[in-house]
Chain A
Amino acid sequence: EPEVTQTPSHQVTQMGQEVILRCVPISNHLYFYWYRQILGQKVEFLVSFYNNEISEKSEIFDDQFSVERPDGSNFTLKIRSTKLEDSAMYFCASSDRQPLNQPQHFGDGTRLSIL
């Protein structure tokens, strides 16, 4: 069964450094998302992406964050100048059509640890 794949599974970074989290969505999907889950808290929406542009973003997704689809298969989340509070599990998801009519499928996540 097709799945969303994320790399790396665990990333450890010094505070202030930049990180790039990578995702390969399911191949025929058109809508892409990033969510995060701080340890012990709810899964929170960060951003959705369609047709090479951001379609919606949350208050969390400030200028520190950016997303990109650099080629036909990858979808990346960049976090500039990381802070301790950025430590979380980051999930990528994708859906194949209008997202409110089709379920979002999630990857295994990248655990980001900021030291």
Chain B
Amino acid sequence: EDKVVQSPLSLVVHEGDTVTLNCSYEVTNFRSLLWYKQEKKAPTFLFMLTSSGIEKKSGRLSSILDKKELFSILNITATQTGDSAVYLCAVGAAGNKLTFGGGTRVLVKP
């Protein structure tokens, strides 16, 4: 059975801090790893990673994948209160479905 584990479960930081979120996985026939941000409703797509060691960046967010050690990290630098959300990691393997982790809840205090 495919498994995706995220850590920590939650964290509280102050504006300006840097956060690092972790995602480890065990799947058969790995194809891609995706990060989503979930505020009140829809998971919003952030990154899709398919190759090891290539960092993807979007503004203050960045992510990298290690296919040998089977994990990914999502970094958020200079955090803002608007970064408060649940961050979801999902893995696409053989077939069409995504397998999600339990999420990391981030609270950024002013």
Residues of A within 8 A of B (CB): 4, 31, 33, 35, 41-45, 48, 50, 55-56, 58, 91, 99-109
Contacts and interface: CB of A to CB of B under 8 A. Distances in A.
Contact of B96 (A41, A91, A100, A103): A100
B100 A100 contact: no
A100 B42 contact: no
Contacts, number: 59
Contact of B42 (A33, A41, A55, A91): A91
B41 interface: yes
A7 to B, nearest CB: 13
A45 B98 contact: yes
A36 to B, nearest CB: 11
Nearest to A101: B32
Given A43-B43, A108-B42, A100 B32 contact: yes
